[in-house]
């Protein structure tokens, strides 16, 4: 499984979160048909997983209020997963009714963040997820678990690796097939990433781990590299780096899928993704959002002929 | 330290093992190139007093090396036309080095006359880049530098050597690590105390960085190496991380990420010093640099240039 020369994984699965995490955190709201078009374009790039939408109350997340229409409207390409967020049992049932075949639940490694975000403690949130996971398992629907604030919290500051490991373990043992560790405010560095992963890897097998790095402090690729060097083989990213940081006005959020793929290509790691196709999808959505891309690869490529 | 560094690098672990062991240097010297490489590649030309203020502010941050200007003909680089005034006007704090670029003997002499105590020369790992940039071959450029080296030696002035296009060239495309090693070796053998390896168009990735450094480290001790990464493709910090893992402990950067890429319009160039220092701090690596003061210098120059910072740390400015 490891590359012969370097100890790096031979293949990394990219989980594209632009249509959900990205668009959810953009100022401009995007019409349903544009969302569907974006997802259809992404489906043709070779991406193995595309997070489509969120079955959360439109009161809380108006950008995702068209979740049913989007779920029903997209083309489903064979070999591509289309997970959706389901914060509770009600959302889960709604998602399944709309055709969802994979769901995600969101935990946090910080009590304060949990309280501020979903108005309950970590323990209470886990009880809610347990219901979702139980229902999902009875229907053979895989569940992905997210853990937020793994490298820092906007309210609590430092987060201990042990706490991250503890929450991750709870989600994994209840039945999540994969745990995506999120540096929600992008404050992590290769140092804190390494320490956190070392703690989590004691509790969860490597092949069940993913990293979800935000680029708010420019550290995302360095953090992802660190994770990949430690054997992590699933990386979340967002086309064109869609999605700002709700905790730092004007700051960036998600790492750009294009920039991640560029790096992985350069490392000789296979992703199955066509970089140019992703750039084109990024160009499409940025035009629709009337904004510049956050991807440096896209910025550089649209201005010169590619050198390599 | 000189002998110790040389001995240590010869005994150093293979890159893979070092990476696995997580062996990072304990200290990293940050070479601030904003006032020269940065301002030279900004569209707006900055008045002399603003340049001097910027350098003075940077001198208060703990940075040990600040590249001040370039003694090149204003016909070629108008942004650096005030080199003599800048060199004479800045506060030179003890313990801080203010190297200047000197492309030839004439520039060197002007630099020394203006008070320079350290100079830099610029080679390239690409024949086509050298031809297009300074209208001669690599070999001819090295002969020109030899004059500068001789004069510098006579005046006891240290010389830093830059090698451009180490991970790719805008004209030639791929550059072989062996070529980079060859040019680096020549410049080191000529007497440069340090070789700064520049990913001029930012196309490098951790993969090509590792390959290139492996080749260069066979010819030049790691203690005499620096990396100068451009962030045009967002790869700079990841590339720097790999260099650190391989034992490199000198990194060039530009405050606020000043300096676009002349080969890709609108694209970014230099990596931002603030973002670099943030990463090094997170790794527990000592730099001596005060990040807040650095951000203040970045804010100052961005206001003067009427542009947004390229530093994400500055943009976020979120207190944790």
Residue ranges per structural domain of chain A: 13-298
Assess A300–B contact: CB distance below 8 Å, yes or no: yes
The answer to whether residue B11 scores a pLDDT higher than 90 is: no
The residue of chain B with its CA nearest to that of A294 is: B234
- The ipTM assigned to this model is 0.93
What mean pLDDT is reported for chain A?
A: 94
Please tell me if residue A245 touches chain B, with a CB cutoff of 8 Å.
yes
Q: Flag whether residue A294 sits within 8 Å of chain B, measured between CB atoms.
A: no
pLDDT digits (tens, 9 = 90+) for A65-118: 999 999 999 999 999 999 999 999 999 999 999 999 999 999 999 999 999 988
Looking at residue A11, the DSSP 8-state letter turns out to be B
Per cent of chain B over pLDDT 90 is 84
On the question of pLDDT at B2 being above 70, the answer is: no
Looking at CA atoms only, how far is residue B80 from chain A in angstroms? 26
Cβ-based contacts of B275 with chain A (< 8 Å) = 217-219
Query: Is the CB of A113 inside 8 Å of chain B's CB atoms?
Result: no
Across all residues in chain B, what is the average pLDDT? 91
Comparing C-alpha atoms, which of B246, B172, B253 is closest to residue B216? B246
Catalytically active residues of B are 261
pLDDT at A172: 97
**Residue with structure tokens 């140019």?**
A276
CB contact under 8 Å between B265 and A186, yes or no, is: no
pLDDT for A6: 66
State the pLDDT at residue B1. 39
Residue A222 with chain B: CB contacts under 8 Å:
237-238, 240-241, 279
Q: How confident is the model at residue A165 (pLDDT cuts 50, 70, 90)?
A: very high
In this complex, the residue of B240, B242, B318 whose CB is nearest that of residue A247 is B318
What six digits make up the tokens of B319? Answer: 């207190």
Euclidean distance between CA atoms A125 and A127, whole angstroms: 5
Tell me, what's the pLDDT at B23? 83
pLDDT at residue B7 above 70? no
Q: Is pLDDT of B139 > 60?
A: yes
Tell me if A179 sits within 8 A of A208, measured CB to CB.
Answer: yes
> Does the structure show a pLDDT above 90 at B156?
yes
Does A252 sit within 8 Å of B235, measured CB to CB?
no
Mean pLDDT of B45-49: 95
pLDDT tens string B55-112: 999 999 999 999 999 999 999 899 999 999 999 999 999 999 999 999 999 999 999 9
Q: How confident is the model at residue B22 (pLDDT cuts 50, 70, 90)?
A: low
Neighbouring residues of B259: CB distance < 8 A, sequence distance ≥ 6: B33, B34, B37, B38, B39, B40, B41, B42, B269, B270
User: Sorting pLDDT into bands at 50, 70 and 90, what band is A248?
Assistant: confident
Q: Tell me whether residues A304 and B265 touch, CB distance under 8 A.
A: yes
Q: Among A221, A256, A297, whose Cβ lies nearest the Cβ of B238?
A: A221
A176: left (phi over 0), alpha (psi -120 to 50) or beta: beta
Mean pLDDT, to the nearest integer, of A129-150? 97
Query: Which residue intervals of chain B are DSSP H helices?
Result: 2-10, 15-21, 39-40, 48-59, 83-89, 105-113, 127-134, 138-154, 177-190, 206-216, 236-245, 273-282, 291-305, 312-316
Whole-model pTM?
A: 0.93
Q: What is the per-residue pLDDT for A304? A: 54
**Is A79 touching B (CB cutoff 8 A)?**
no
**Residues of chain A contacting B19 with CB distance shorter than 8 Å:** 7, 229
Residues whose CB is less than 8 angstroms from the CB of residue B100 and which lie 6 or more positions away in sequence, other chains included: B36, B67, B68, B69, B70, B71, B83, B87, B111, B116, B118, B119, B120
Pick from B203, B238, B315: CB nearest A222: B238
Interchain CB contacts (distance < 8 Å): A and B: 147
Tell me if B237 and A218 make a contact (CB, 8 A cut-off).
yes
pLDDT over threshold 50, residue A61 = yes
> What pLDDT sits at residue B3?
36
**pLDDT exceeds cutoff 90 at B246:** yes
Residues of chain A neighbouring B231 (CB-CB closer than 8 A): 296
Q: In degrees rounded to 5, what are phi and psi of residue B99?
A: -65, 155
- The dotted CATH code for A13-298 is 3.20.20.70
Say what the pLDDT of residue B270 is.
95
| Domains of chain B (ranges, CATH numbers) | 29-317 (3.20.20.70)
User: B241 and A226 in contact by Cβ < 8 A?
Assistant: yes
Q: Which positions in chain B touch A266 (Cβ < 8 Å)?
A: 204-208, 235
Tell me what pLDDT residue B261 has. Answer: 82
Predicted pLDDT at A118: 85
Chain A from 198 to 237: CB within 8 A of any B CB: 215-219, 221-222, 224-226, 229
Write the residue in B174, B232, B284 that is nearest to A308 by C-beta: B174
Closest among A164, A144, A163 to A49, alpha carbons compared: A144
- What pLDDT is attached to residue B14? 42
Least Cα distance to B312 among A233, A201, A259 occurs for A259
Nearest-Cα distance to chain A for B160, in Å, is 28
Looking at residue B9, its pLDDT comes to: 37
Average pLDDT over residues B139-165: 96
CA dihedral B286, A226, B174, B129 (to 10 degrees): -20
Distance CA A257, CA B128 (A): 33
Residue B99 makes CB contacts below 8 A (sequence gap 6+) with B65, B67, B68, B116, B118, B119, B120, B160
Any CB–CB contact under 8 A between A130 and chain B? no
Residue B274 has pLDDT above 90, yes or no: yes
For A40, A72, A132, A145, the CA distances from A101, given in Å and listed in that order, are 17, 12, 13, 15
Is A245 among the residues known to form the active site?
yes
């Amino acid at each position: 499984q490891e590359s012969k020369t370097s100890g790096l994984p031979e293949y990394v699965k990219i989980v594209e979160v632009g249509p959900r995490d990205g668009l959810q955190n953009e100022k401009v709201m995007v019409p349903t048909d544009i969302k569907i078009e974006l997802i259809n374009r992404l489906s043709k790039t070779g991406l193995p997983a595309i997070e489509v939408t969120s079955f959360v109350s439109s009161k809380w997340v108006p950008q995702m209020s068209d979740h049913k229409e989007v779920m029903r409207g997209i083309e489903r390409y064979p070999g591509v997963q289309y997970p959706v967020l389901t914060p509770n049992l009600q959302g889960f049932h709604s998602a399944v009714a709309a055709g969802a075949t994979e769901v995600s639940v969101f935990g946090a490694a910080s009590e304060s963040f949990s309280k501020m975000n979903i108005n309950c403690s970590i323990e209470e949130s886990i009880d809610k997820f347990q219901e979702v996971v139980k229902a999902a398992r009875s229907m053979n629907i895989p569940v992905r678990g997210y853990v937020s604030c793994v490298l820092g919290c906007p309210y609590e500051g430092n987060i201990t690796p042990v706490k991250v490991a503890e929450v991750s373990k709870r989600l994994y043992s209840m039945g999540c097939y994969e745990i995506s560790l999120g540096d929600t405010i992008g404050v992590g560095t290769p140092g804190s990433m390494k320490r956190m992963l070392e703690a989590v890897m004691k509790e969860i097998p490597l092949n069940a781990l993913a990293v979800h790095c935000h680029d708010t402090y420019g550290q995302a690729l360095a953090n992802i590299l660190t994770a990949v060097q430690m054997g992590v083989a699933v990386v979340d990213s967002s086309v064109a780096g869609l999605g700002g940081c709700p905790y730092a006005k004007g700051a960036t959020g998600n790492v750009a899928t294009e920039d991640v793929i560029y790096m992985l290509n350069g490392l000789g790691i296979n992703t199955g993704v066509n970089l140019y196709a992703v750039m084109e999808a990024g160009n499409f959505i940025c035009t629709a959002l009337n904004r510049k891309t956050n991807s440096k690869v896209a910025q550089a490529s649209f201005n010169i002929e590619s050198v390599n | 330290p000189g002998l110790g560094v040389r001995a240590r690098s010869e005994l150093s672990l293979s890159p893979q093992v070092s990476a696995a062991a997580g062996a990072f240097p304990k200290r990293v010297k940050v070479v601030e190139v904003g006032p020269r490489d940065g301002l030279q590649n900004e569209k707006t030309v900055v008045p002399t007093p603003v340049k001097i203020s910027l350098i003075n502010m940077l001198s208060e941050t703990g940075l040990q090396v600040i590249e001040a200007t370039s003694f090149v003909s204003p016909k070629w680089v108008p942004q650096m036309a005030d080199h003599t005034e800048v060199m004479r006007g800045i506060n030179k704090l003890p313990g801080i080095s203010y190297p200047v670029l000197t492309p030839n003997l004439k520039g060197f002499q002007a630099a020394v006359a203006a008070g320079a105590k350290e100079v830099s020369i610029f080679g390239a790992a690409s024949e086509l880049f050298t031809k297009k940039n300074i209208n001669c071959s690599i070999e001819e450029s090295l002969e020109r530098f030899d004059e500068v080296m001789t004069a510098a030696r006579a005046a006891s002035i240290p010389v830093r050597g830059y090698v451009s296009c180490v991970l790719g060239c805008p004209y030639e495309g791929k550059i072989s690590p062996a070529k980079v090693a060859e040019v680096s070796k020549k410049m080191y053998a000529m007497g440069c105390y340090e070789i700064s390896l520049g990913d001029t168009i930012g196309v490098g990735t951790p993969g090509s960085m590792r390959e290139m450094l492996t080749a260069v480290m066979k010819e030049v001790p790691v203690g005499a190496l620096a990396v100068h990464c451009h962030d045009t493709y967002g790869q700079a910090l990841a590339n720097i991380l790999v260099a650190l893992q391989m034992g490199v402990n000198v990194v060039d950067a530009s405050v606020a990420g000043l300096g676009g890429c002349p080969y890709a319009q609108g694209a970014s160039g230099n990596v931002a010093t603030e973002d670099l220092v943030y990463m090094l701090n997170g790794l527990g690596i000592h730099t001596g640099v005060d990040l807040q003061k650095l951000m203040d210098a970045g804010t100052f120059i961005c206001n003067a240039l009427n542009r947004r910072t390229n530093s994400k740390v500055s943009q976020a400015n979120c207190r944790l």
